[in-house]
Every structure is written in structure tokens, then in C-alpha cells.
A and B are shown apart, each in its own frame.
Chain A
Amino acid sequence: MDAVRTHGHAHHDDHAHHPGGIMRWVMTTNHKDIGTMYLWFSFAMLLVGGTMAFVIRAELFQPGLQIVTPEFFNQMTTLHGLIMVFGAIMPAFVGFANWQIPMMIGAPDMAFPRMNNWSFWLLPPAALLLIISLFVPGGGPAAGWTMYVPLATQMGPGMDFSIFAVHLLGMSSIMGSINIITTILNLRAPGMTLMKMPMFCWTWLITAYLLIAVMPVLAGAVTMILTDRHFGTAFFNAAGGGDPVLYQHIFWFFGHPEVYIIAIPAFGVISQVIPAFSRKPLFGYTSMVYATASIAILSFIVWAHHMYTVGMPVTGQLYFMYATMLIAVPTGVKVFNWVATMWKGSLTFETPMLFAIGFLFLFTLGGFSGLVLSLAAVDVQVHDTYYVVAHFHYVMVAGALFSAFAGVYFWLPKWTGRMYDETLGKWHFWLTIIFFNVTFFVQHFLGLAGMPRRVPDYALQFTEFNVISSIGAFGFGVSQLLLPYIVIKAIRSGEKAPQRPWEGAETLEWTHLPSPPPYHSFQTPPVVK
């Protein structure tokens, strides 16, 4: 227990090595400071992307064009996608990784603290590039977050801004991944074998490998768009011997693993939260590790299920259909394991657990609509419709975002040393889950009935569900303002948190470190038996 430091001692440590004021944040190499910055950055982006979603849903509230022009509408859908995926969800989980991995494996900090600083500080310029693109001639990119060519080749300079933003985000992700892999492989406390690591660390180890494998692929794809646009190449231009569909293959070779880059750390958070509030270890730790790894490997060989309508050979469609259906097996194993962990536990329902159960229920629903989409013949009908929009919001919002919320409420007492307001947390959960379903459940029906996605206006038979969806979206958006209020209220005036506020939490940060933890988490590694 020699790694446990008194709070006073830690406080002294806080001010010993770093500049004060704004420079503390600019120069910091501390994993906690960087984790905090990642999380606030991600929340800021959530608000920016959310505002864009407001514009989209406001325009779709009624048929006809009322608020924005079709050009601007397309810019909103494009930037909403890019900002939410690359600005909000991915950085949120890197924030968790920064805070949690060193504390969970018994390390003082990340392996490469200065690179850590650099990988965070690449994000704000990238976000600025995306936002500034709205104000250049021709406006922001409007070819969808997938940036399909030749449409992307037609765009104004706003497209180049997003290409450079993607380059920066990619560099940031790759450096972050190198850091995470090195930290996990080298800085574990004595006795902590890989198979004793908390599930969250496992999921990030796997995710980091995915990132390193696919971010360069995306960078390559957008660079080819860039040279097609400006330097006369014809990678994707049929008139010059290229192939527009090649871009889609390259993009989705990145894009499908990307889905799991977002989902797998979310699985990790859930795998910490559910056992803690069930007061019972994860039912099948070993099979969870294997299931996660299988999902990661399968994610590389299913990409063309996003492209069932491009006219690939029927044998290709059959292969991608079977491979995609196979993903349901390891995903099912995960869901069954979580349910088995809750079974005969001693359950309590604090906010993190509520969000985890919300995740489990709704992510599975998103998984099932994914199974429907995997069937090529059905997908041909619902491809590029609101059914797909509903599906991926169940996975991205009810999956990844709910998991991030669960993680914030779960670890907030550790990070800040203060408890959050449980009543307000529960309000946040119930408002979020109700409005989420009001917004997105009806979109399944819209898609089935034939409403295409990415349209600023629609035929009259889609009116009712669009009205419902828009009302839900406004409610959902406004409810999210509760989160910063709850967090700031906890930091300012929350009750002092004990070292281990959650009875069932068993990982090192709860058993060995005070709340809040010292600046350099473990100066002497704990011994894990």
C-alpha cells in the first residue's frame, strides 16, 4: 500500500512541476490533465455537432424548405457526421484512456507524455479547420461525412479544409494509439499479466491496433481526393482511367473498423460498470477478451456491406453478407456475458449503471437492425434511407455516447474527489433515453416506407414521423445541457467522495488510490496478486 498518498501530499505534488494559468494546459504532459482536456474538447464538439443536428431537424420538422437552403443543409449533415465521429466520440474515449489506463495498470503516467500533449493539441486546429470551412467561398464540405467522389471533387475549398482536418485527426489518433499500446505493454504493475488487466485496458489495446491499421488508409484515400482535385491525378475519375467505386472500397476499409474503434472502448467502459454495480466479477472475462479480438479481426473483412448497391458481383455480395452476419456471434457473446454478470448479482441503479443498462438494451437493438442490414437483399431496399440513419444512431449514440456518459458518472468521483448529484444524474438518464427513442425509433419506419437520407425536404407521407423525430431531437439536445451542469456542480460543491464510492468496484484506481488521485498516479507500482 505504499503507493497510497495522502491528499495533502498529492496537492504539494500538483504544483511542483508545472507552470500555472493557461500554460499549465498548453504545456502539460500529465495524463490526467490531457485526459481532462480530451473530455472537455469532446463535449464542446458534441455541442457544435449537436447544434448542426438542431438545424437539420428544424428543417425536417415540416415538408418544404423553410430555414436553410439545400446546399447549407448538405453542409450541416456532412459536418455533423465528421464532427461527431472525429471530434466528439473518438476524443471522449481517448480521454477515458488517458485518465484510466495508467491508474488501472498501476503506472505513474502514459509512456510518452510529450507525444500525448502533441496528440491532444492537434485536435483544436483540426476542429477549427472544419468549422472555418463553413465560411470559405462555396461553404463547407457537402459531400457527406463519407466524402464520396466525384461529388467531393466538385466541392469548393471547404473540402480541402476537411481533408487537412482529417490528416491532423489521423495523426493525433495514430500517436495516441502508439502511446496507449506502449503504456499497456510496458508499464503494467508487477503481477498484472495481460489476462489480469481490467477489461477497459484490453478494449483499448485492441482499439489502438485498429486505429494504427486504418487511419493511414483514410489519410491515403483523402489525399487521393486532394490530388484528384488539384494536381490532375485521376485515381477516382473514370474519364482518366480511375474508378469512383475504388474510393468507396478504400473509405470503408477504414470506415468499418472505425465503427468498432468507437464501439470497442464503449464495451470496455460497460464491462467495468456492470460488474461494479452488480457486485460480481464479469461473468466470462476470458471469452470477453476473445470476443473483442474476434470483432476487431472480423471488422477488417466486412467493409463492402456498406456498398451493396454499387453493383459488385453477386458472389462478392454473398461473401460480405455471410462475413457480416458472423459478427453477430462475438457481439452476442458480449451481450450474453453482460446479462450473465447481472444475473444473481446484488444490483443497484446509480446513474452509471442506468446508462450501462440503457446501453445494453439499445445497443443490442442497434445490433439487430445491423443484422437486418447485413442481409444484402433487404439492405438494397433500405440502403441510404432513414433506416440506416436510425441504425447507426442506435449504435453511435445509444451505444458509444451512453457508454461515455456511464463512464463520466462512474469515474467522476475518482477524478474530482467529489460526488455528483444522483437525482440530477437520474434525470439526465431518463430524459436522454426517452428523447433518444422518440428521435430515432420512428426513423426506422421512415426508412422502411421509403424516405432517403440526406434530403432537406420530403414527400407528405413522411410528415408525421418527422415531426415526432424533430421534437425528440430538440428534447434530446436540451437534456444534454444537464451534463456540464451536473459535472460543474459536483466539482464546485459536491460531497467529498471516498476512495471507493462504489461497493463493487475492484480495479486499482479504486482499491489503491485516493479520490482525487495524486498527480503522478503510481510513483511506486503496486503489486498485483
Chain B
Amino acid sequence: MRHTLLATWAGSVLLAGFSGLASAAYELNMQAPASKVAQDVYDLHVLMMWIIVVIFVGVFAVMFYSVFAHRKSKGHQAVQFHENATVELVWTIIPLIILILMAWPATKVLLSLRDTSNPDLTIKVTGYQWKWGYDYLRGEGEGIRFVSALATPRDQIQGTAPKGENYLLEVDNPVVVPVDKKIRILTTGNDVIHSWWVPALGIKQDAIPGFVRDTWFKADRLGTFRGQCTELCGKDHGFMPVVVEVVSADKYSAWVGEQKKKMAAQADDPNKTWTLEESKARGAKVYAANCVACHQANGQGVKGAFPALDGSKVMNGPKDGLINVVLNGKPGTAMAAFGKQLSDTELAAVITHARNSWGNKTGEAIQPAEVRSQRK
């Protein structure tokens, strides 16, 4: 009885171990390429690895032979030879030749990686702390713009809920692009340097505030490709993924139509006068999407890093100064200039929300027109 119990227990542990191994991702190489450039980079890397393995094994075979054969404990006497110009010359020139041979394919791949000419579609990517903004600038879908942020719920990160399959690699609004079309990506940053990376597409480009850089890809198969920000950009650097959905041309056209309709429906009338309740409700959504990471849901901020809004003097003080801070940011701090990211309506709503939540009670709705008048 005891034995069978033990056997069952051991069996289940073993089984769990095996299934753990089977489901575990011991990925040893780059992700499966989804573009010609990514494939070229993959192949270049594999080629280099083989050259390196051959040299490495060659050199260290000699060393380990020496370690085993030329030991004092085996009675080996040291042979006192040294300095030989011919040998030195040989082991300078041979590596040089190998390097020149390596440089040839490396140059070819690099040149194709950087050739951003004649795109079918141009998309501007803006890095924000800590989300990505996308503007479809030229080509089918011109005019579409949206912000794409992490969709993984907070409780999965804190460990209070089981983690989903695409944990940390899922967003609310993925970038949608057509397959087999050359997509040029322009990158820029709003606050600090970010870096836009999709491994399967073979591209990574820094998004630098004040400058525009470019790169390109042409996906050769349908699918969803996931990447992340790769330049340290502050607190939530690990939480701003990139998701690219590659779809067929037809599906892409359908998506563009849908987006245009959605944008038209969402457009706010900038001259509307909002009531306090309306504005607060709208502001709560904006707050949850843009402010909560630093100032927290309870408005208490993070002591020493991000100021509390609840009971804050600025928050309950004159509205002009406050609007100015939200519009233009606060230089030298993590407070971003939200004027470039949010509309007048959204800014007015979020300020109304913050001035009338927690312990704050100004009892007044900020109107979009007031924000507009402060834009320079």
C-alpha cells in the first residue's frame, strides 16, 4: 500500500516534470523570421556562429591538448622556445582574411536593412512614457492615429491572477499592416529615448525626442508579431510592448474603413460645453489610461517619486497654472507634456476629474475652450 502510494506520487511528480519540460520554451535561437531582412539576419547569425564554433574548437583543442599532454605531473619538460616572427605574422594575417570574408555578407545584409526607399505605407511611431502612438502618414489608411498601451491587467503582473498566454506582450490597439507591402516606420520620442522592436520582422529603431529616424519591413506571412521597447525609458520600460498584426490586403482595407468610422464617431465637438458630471466621467477614463501609472488610482502618487494629486495645492489652486502643467509637462521631471497626446476635450475632462475626485472638491468643470486658449 505504502509502496503504491509512493509510486503514484513519484509517477505524478515525474509526469509533471516531463510536461513542464515539454511546455517549457528553451528557445536557443532568434525568433522565426517573418520578413526577408529578418531571414537574412538570421542566416548571417547562423553562419557566423558556425565560423566561430570552428575557430573556437580549433584554438581550444590545442590548449586542452597542451593541458592534458604537457603536464609537469606527467614528467613533461618545458621546451624553452619563444619569439617567432613568422608564426606571429601567420596568426595575424589568417584572422584578417577570415574577417574580410565575414564582412562581405555582413555589409550586404546591412545595406538592405537600411534601404527605406519607395515604401507602400508610412507609419510614424511615437514613444511615450510608457506607450506607443501610431500615425498612418501616407498610403492606404492615411490619417488613422491611435495610442497603443499594455493590455495585460495589473493583477496578472502583481501575481493575484494567473498569467495569460501573451503576458506583457499584448496591447489594446495593435498596429495593423498589410502583408507583402513595404512599410516604412518613422520613429520619434515624446519624452525620453525609446526603441521600437519587433524581433520577427528584424527591425529595431530608437525613438529619439526631437529627431525622426526611419526603418522598414515587409512582412512575408500573416500573423501577429510581438516585441517590446528596448531602450530603458524609466519606470515602466518593461511594460510597453509592440504588437504588429499582419493581415491580407482585403482585411487591411476593411480595417481601415472600420477605423475611419470609429474615429469619426469618437470625434468630440470642441465647442461643446460639458457639465461637471459628464466631464468627470470622461476624465476618469483618460486618467486611467494616462495618469494612473504614476499618480496612482487613489491619487496618492508614489512618495518621493511622483507627487500626490489628492489634496495637492496645485491641483486645487488656480486652473490656468494647472492646465499649463498638464499641457506642457514639467521639465526635469517625469511629468510629460500631454498637450501633444490628448485632445482639448480629454485634457479638460481629466483635469476636471482630478480636481473633483478623492478629497478634491472644486466643483467646477474645465471646458475644452479653456484648454485651447492656453495652447501656444
The complex places the Cα of A368 from the Cα of B232 at a distance, in Å, of: 26
Known: A284-B83, A336-B59, A445-B26. A381 touches B195 (CB 8 A): no
With most chain B CB atoms within 10 A of its CB, the pick from A63, A322, A455 is: A455
Do B87 and A347 have beta carbons less than 8 Å apart? no
The complex places the Cα of A335 from the Cα of B30 at a distance, in Å, of: 29
Do A332 and B82 have beta carbons less than 8 Å apart? no
Known: A311-B208, A329-B99. A460 touches B165 (CB 8 A): yes
Partner of A65, one of B157, B199, B211: B157
| Interface membership of B24, Cβ < 8 A | yes
The complex places the Cα of A342 from the Cα of B210 at a distance, in Å, of: 55
- Count of chain A residues with Cβ under 8 Å from any Cβ of B? 100
Closest to A280 in B: B78
Binds B, one of A94-102, A177-185, A371-379, A519-527: A371-379
Do A364 and B193 have beta carbons less than 8 Å apart? no
Do A384 and B230 have beta carbons less than 8 Å apart? yes
Binds B, one of A137-145, A165-173, A415-423, A493-501: A137-145
A465 CB, nearest partner CB in chain B, Å: 7
Main secondary structure of the interface of A (DSSP, over half): helix
Do A138 and B304 have beta carbons less than 8 Å apart? yes
Partner of A238, one of B114, B163, B211: B211
The complex places the Cα of A371 from the Cα of B27 at a distance, in Å, of: 22
Interface flags, A259-288, vs B, CB<8A=1, else 0: 000000000000000000011111111110
Closest to B215 in A: A311
Do B205 and A383 have beta carbons less than 8 Å apart? no
Do B83 and A329 have beta carbons less than 8 Å apart? no
Interface flags, A433-452, vs B, CB<8A=1, else 0: 00000000000010011101
The complex places the Cα of A431 from the Cα of B344 at a distance, in Å, of: 62
| Interface membership of A16, Cβ < 8 A | no
Partner of B192, one of A139, A154, A245, A445: A154
The complex places the Cα of A505 from the Cα of B210 at a distance, in Å, of: 59
| Interface membership of B19, Cβ < 8 A | no
With most chain A CB atoms within 10 A of its CB, the pick from B44, B81, B110, B199 is: B110
Do A457 and B59 have beta carbons less than 8 Å apart? no
Partner of A311, one of B48, B213, B237: B213
Known: A311-B205, A336-B91. A372 touches B26 (CB 8 A): no
Within B302-321, the residues touching A (CB, 8 Å) are 302, 304-305
| Interface membership of B373, Cβ < 8 A | no
| Interface membership of A470, Cβ < 8 A | no
A227 CB, nearest partner CB in chain B, Å: 12
Chain A residues lying within 8 Å of B72, measured Cβ to Cβ, are 279, 346-348
Closest to B20 in A: A464
| Interface membership of B17, Cβ < 8 A | no
Closest to B31 in A: A450
A491 CB, nearest partner CB in chain B, Å: 28
Partner of B91, one of A139, A326, A332: A332
A263 CB, nearest partner CB in chain B, Å: 18
The complex places the Cα of A424 from the Cα of B307 at a distance, in Å, of: 53
Chain A residues lying within 8 Å of B169, measured Cβ to Cβ, are 459
| Interface membership of A19, Cβ < 8 A | no
Interface flags, A323-338, vs B, CB<8A=1, else 0: 0011011001101100
Chain A residues lying within 8 Å of B332, measured Cβ to Cβ, are 153-154, 229
The complex places the Cα of A372 from the Cα of B210 at a distance, in Å, of: 31
Known: A344-B81, A347-B72. A454 touches B232 (CB 8 A): yes
Partner of B238, one of A70, A137, A151, A311: A70
Do A314 and B111 have beta carbons less than 8 Å apart? yes
| Interface membership of B254, Cβ < 8 A | no
The complex places the Cα of A467 from the Cα of B236 at a distance, in Å, of: 22
Interface flags, B209-245, vs A, CB<8A=1, else 0: 1110111000000000011111111111111000000
Known: A151-B232, A329-B99, A457-B168. A378 touches B45 (CB 8 A): yes
Do A460 and B167 have beta carbons less than 8 Å apart? yes
Partner of A344, one of B60, B66, B99: B66
Interface flags, A290-330, vs B, CB<8A=1, else 0: 00000000000000000001110010011001100110110
| Interface membership of B40, Cβ < 8 A | yes
Partner of B163, one of A64, A335, A385: A64
| Interface membership of A427, Cβ < 8 A | no
Partner of B234, one of A151, A229, A318: A151
Chain B residues lying within 8 Å of A325, measured Cβ to Cβ, are 99, 102-103
Do B203 and A318 have beta carbons less than 8 Å apart? no
Closest to B94 in A: A332
Do B60 and A361 have beta carbons less than 8 Å apart? yes
Do B91 and A333 have beta carbons less than 8 Å apart? yes
Do B110 and A321 have beta carbons less than 8 Å apart? yes
Within B68-82, the residues touching A (CB, 8 Å) are 70-73, 76-82
A453 CB, nearest partner CB in chain B, Å: 8
Chain A residues lying within 8 Å of B167, measured Cβ to Cβ, are 63, 459-460
The complex places the Cα of A343 from the Cα of B45 at a distance, in Å, of: 32
Do A64 and B91 have beta carbons less than 8 Å apart? no
Do B67 and A357 have beta carbons less than 8 Å apart? yes
Do A364 and B208 have beta carbons less than 8 Å apart? no
Known: A339-B59, A344-B78, A347-B72. A460 touches B163 (CB 8 A): yes
Known: A244-B209, A344-B81. A448 touches B28 (CB 8 A): yes
| Interface membership of B62, Cβ < 8 A | yes
Partner of B73, one of A281, A326, A348, A452: A348
Do A456 and B71 have beta carbons less than 8 Å apart? no
Closest to A339 in B: B63
Do B110 and A335 have beta carbons less than 8 Å apart? no
Closest to B79 in A: A344
Do B70 and A464 have beta carbons less than 8 Å apart? no
| Interface membership of B333, Cβ < 8 A | yes
| Interface membership of A477, Cβ < 8 A | no
Chain B residues lying within 8 Å of A348, measured Cβ to Cβ, are 71-73
The complex places the Cα of A343 from the Cα of B169 at a distance, in Å, of: 52
The complex places the Cα of A245 from the Cα of B49 at a distance, in Å, of: 31
Chain A residues lying within 8 Å of B67, measured Cβ to Cβ, are 342, 347, 349, 357
Do A281 and B304 have beta carbons less than 8 Å apart? no
| Interface membership of A239, Cβ < 8 A | yes
Within B131-158, the residues touching A (CB, 8 Å) are 156-158
Do B91 and A286 have beta carbons less than 8 Å apart? no
Which A residues are within 8 Å of any B CB, using their own CB? 63-66, 69-71, 74, 137-139, 142-144, 148, 150-151, 153-154, 156, 229, 237-239, 243-245, 278-287, 309-311, 314, 317-318, 321-322, 325-326, 328-329, 332-333, 335-336, 339-349, 357, 360-361, 364-365, 368, 371-372, 375-378, 380-381, 383-385, 445, 448-450, 452-465, 504
Closest 9 A-B residue pairs measured CB to CB?
Answer: A238-B210, A311-B213, A455-B238, A461-B25, A449-B27, A346-B78, A377-B109, A384-B230, A450-B199
